[in-house]
Amino acid sequence: MRKKVLVLGGNFGGLTAALAVKHELEGDVDVTVVSKDDQFLFNPSLIWLPFGKRDRGDLTFPIAPTFESHGVDFEHVAATGIDADGKQVTLADGRTLDYDYLVIATGYRNNDDVVPGYRENAVTITTLSDAEHAGTAWQRYLEDPGDIVIAATQGAGCFGAAYEFLFNTSYQLRKAGLHKDVRLSYVTSEPFLGHFGIGGLPHGEQLLKMFLKKEGITAHLDAGIDHVAEDAIVLADGTELPSAYSMVVPPFLGQEFLLASGLTDDKGYVRVRDTYQTEKYDDVYAVGIAAAVDVPWQTPTPVGIPKTGFPTEQMAHTAAKNIAAQVRGEVPEHEQAFGDIKAICVMDAGNNGVVILADKMLPPRKHGVLIPGPQAHLMKLGFEKYFMWKMRHGYVQLP
Ligand SMILES: Cc1cc2nc3c(=O)[nH]c(=O)nc-3n(C[C@H](O)[C@H](O)[C@H](O)COP(=O)(O)OP(=O)(O)OC[C@H]3O[C@@H](n4cnc5c(N)ncnc54)[C@H](O)[C@@H]3O)c2cc1C
């Protein structure tokens, strides 16, 4: 009897895990992907969508043909429950699916309750529909401009996107001839500029300070937000920052349906070992943003950890190798702690940017470097095209 692998989620983690398992076992396994969305979404380019530099069609492709061409079954439906003892997943249409091995790659949702007024009075860019809404608000803003606040709240982890949006906003203000008249502020829970939720990298703080100074941006560090008002962001210390356009990056949470599975922490993230097997079940894995990662430091204002694309793919490959080993009757011994995965990222700044490279996501590190310059912007453009091509064709073995 061929073993059944069930993958929940069809984006960076789910698509990679599903196709990598097929590849590892040379097709001799039944793989099914269940996903709430039937499109792949290249989230890193959401930063450009509000400014009209990209639209929905540029950042997405339908995933059914990709899975079909690799012999993977695809179910476009949300999972609603996991019975890990009974090895069954419940779906929103009432069906249940059995599995021998399960991979949870259901990513994130916004914590909409993080700060009062955030949903009503600010926009965000962390989902496709949110980024589209931020674009409509940007068009309205241009008709009646004023000061702007870009913020990453207490507990947020996706700082790269906040910085990228900040610098892209500055670039757009220049293009619109508004740069001199608009006060642009950055509010962050990071203890210092360039912390990025990964503890910072050598010379990162100086570099980010230089970028902010050049763009005339004021930073509020180690800042909690008390609430978002209609025309201002009010910090925990009472500072009121007037704002005609507020873009706020909230913390992420795991999907709600996972909370009842007994597999998660209180944020809905699945607790995993370095094999990406869950703490409790050898046959249940979690990868990508869905997997819990402990924050290894305490900061005065809490910061989260960014679970970016490269580590997500690495986790998915590690899980796939271990499932393949289990199917072959071997011990699943591939291990890769999140903190030891390389950090590879490009931070875009409109027509400029910074390439971020480090030997490890989390300290202690041996190497870490930030390379600024216009080539970083071109790299991000090229990477978007390459990555969409790679995923659309299911070439998950490529770097
Ligand atoms: C604005 C932004 C910018 C970013 N920029 C970068 C960057 O520059 N570089 C970088 O490396 N990373 C970046 N990231 C991070 C990157 O997008 C994530 O690492 C990646 O999306 C994680 O993939 P994932 O598969 O774990 O989760 P997701 O991408 O969240 O995918 C989750 C999948 O699960 C599905 N799903 C959800 N709930 C259910 C359910 N109940 N049942 C079935 N399916 C479900 C969803 O439909 C989706 O297919 C950025 C993220 C954001 C939000």
Taking the centre of ligand 1 as the mean of its atom positions, its distance from the CA of residue 286, in whole angstroms, is 13
Ligand 1, closest atom to CA 290?
A: 26
76 assigned to some structural domain: yes
| pLDDT tens digit sequence for 199-220 | 999 999 999 999 999 999 999 9
How many Å apart are CA 281 and CA 279, to the nearest integer?
Answer: 6
Instruction: Look at strands 73-76 and 30-35 and give their pairing.
Output: parallel
SS (H, E, C) 152-184: ECCCCCCHHHHHHHHHHHHHHHHHCCCCCCCCE
Structural domain that includes position 169: 118-251
| pLDDT tens digit sequence for 54-83 | 999 999 999 999 999 999 999 999 999 999
Interval 24-48 mean pLDDT? 98
Model-level pTM greater than 0.95?
Answer: yes
Q: Are residues 152 and 234 in the same domain?
A: yes
Q: What Å distances lie between residue 339 and 2, 192, 267, 274, 346, CA to CA?
A: 35, 20, 20, 10, 19
Q: Are residues 126 and 239 in the same domain?
A: yes
Mutate which of 167, 308, 391 for ligand 1? The one with the most ligand atoms within 8 Å of its CB, which is 308
The answer on pLDDT for 248 being more than 90 is: yes
- 347-368 in b/e form (b: 16+ CB < 10 A) is bbbbebbbbbebebbbeebeeb
Taking the centre of ligand 1 as the mean of its atom positions, its distance from the CA of residue 218, in whole angstroms, is 30
Domain boundary among 316, 337, 358: 337
How many Å apart are CA 237 and CA 241, to the nearest integer?
Answer: 12
Q: Are residues 77 and 168 in the same domain?
A: no
Q: Are residues 146 and 230 in the same domain?
A: yes
Structure-token match 């698509």, residue found: 15
Q: What angle do CA 48, 49, 52 make, to 5 degrees?
A: 95
Q: Are residues 134 and 190 in the same domain?
A: yes
| pLDDT score at 143 | 98
Q: Are residues 138 and 22 in the same domain?
A: no
Question: Which three-class secondary structure state does DSSP give residue 240?
Answer: strand
Q: How confident is residue 1, by pLDDT bands cut at 50, 70 and 90?
A: confident
Residues in contact with ligand 1 by the CB-under-6-Å rule are 8-14, 34-37, 43-44, 46-47, 78-79, 105-108, 125-126, 158, 160-161, 255, 257, 288-290, 307-310, 312, 345
Lookup: tokens for 172: 């757009």
310 assigned to some structural domain: yes
How many Å apart are CA 247 and CA 284, to the nearest integer?
Answer: 37
Domain boundary among 337, 356, 378: 337
Residue whose CA lies nearest to ligand 1 atom number 50: 44
Q: Are residues 17 and 101 in the same domain?
A: yes
Query: What CATH number is associated with residue 332?
Result: 3.50.50.60
Mutate which of 106, 133, 252 for ligand 1? The one with the most ligand atoms within 8 Å of its CB, which is 106
Residue 372, beta-bridge partner list: 354
Interval 377-397 mean pLDDT? 97
| pLDDT score at 298 | 93
Task: Give how many domains the chain has, as a whole number.
Answer: 2
The answer on pLDDT for 190 being more than 90 is: yes
| pLDDT score at 272 | 98
How many distinct helices (H) and strands (E) make up the chain? Answer: 9, 22
How many Å apart are CA 272 and CA 293, to the nearest integer?
Answer: 8
| pLDDT tens digit sequence for 262-310 | 999 999 999 999 999 999 999 999 999 999 999 999 999 999 999 999 9
Counting residues of the chain whose pLDDT is more than 90, the rounded percentage is: 99
Sign of CA dihedral 229, 235, 239, 243: negative
Q: Are residues 260 and 242 in the same domain?
A: no
Catalytic hit among 345, 370, 376, 391: 345
Task: Determine contact, residues 117/255, Cβ cutoff 8 Å.
Answer: no
Q: How confident is residue 397, by pLDDT bands cut at 50, 70 and 90?
A: very high
Interval 34-61 mean pLDDT? 98
Task: Determine contact, residues 270/263, Cβ cutoff 8 Å.
Answer: yes
Domain boundary among 251, 285, 316: 251
Counting residues of the chain whose pLDDT is more than 70, the rounded percentage is: 100
Let me know if 158 is a catalytic residue: yes
Which backbone phi and psi does 17 adopt, to 5 degrees?
A: -60, -45
How many Å apart are CA 196 and CA 43, to the nearest integer?
Answer: 17
Let me know if 341 is a catalytic residue: no
Instruction: Look at strands 218-220 and 184-188 and give their pairing.
Output: parallel
How many Å apart are CA 153 and CA 160, to the nearest integer?
Answer: 13
216 assigned to some structural domain: yes
Taking the centre of ligand 1 as the mean of its atom positions, its distance from the CA of residue 51, in whole angstroms, is 21
Which backbone phi and psi does 62 adopt, to 5 degrees?
A: -70, 135
Contacts by residues 97-100 (CB-CB < 8 Å, ≥ 24 positions apart): 97/6, 97/32, 97/34, 98/4, 99/4, 99/5, 99/6, 99/283, 100/3, 100/4, 100/5, 100/283, 100/327
136 assigned to some structural domain: yes
- Tell me whether residue 112 is exposed, middle or buried, using C-beta atoms within 10 angstroms of its C-beta: 0 to 12, 13 to 18, 19 or more: exposed
| pLDDT tens digit sequence for 89-140 | 999 999 999 999 999 999 999 999 999 999 999 999 999 999 999 999 999 9
Sign of CA dihedral 100, 70, 90, 9: positive
Residue whose CA lies nearest to ligand 1 atom number 27: 107
| pLDDT score at 34 | 99
| pLDDT score at 343 | 96
The answer on pLDDT for 359 being more than 90 is: yes
| pLDDT score at 329 | 97
Taking the centre of ligand 1 as the mean of its atom positions, its distance from the CA of residue 43, in whole angstroms, is 7
The answer on pLDDT for 88 being more than 90 is: yes
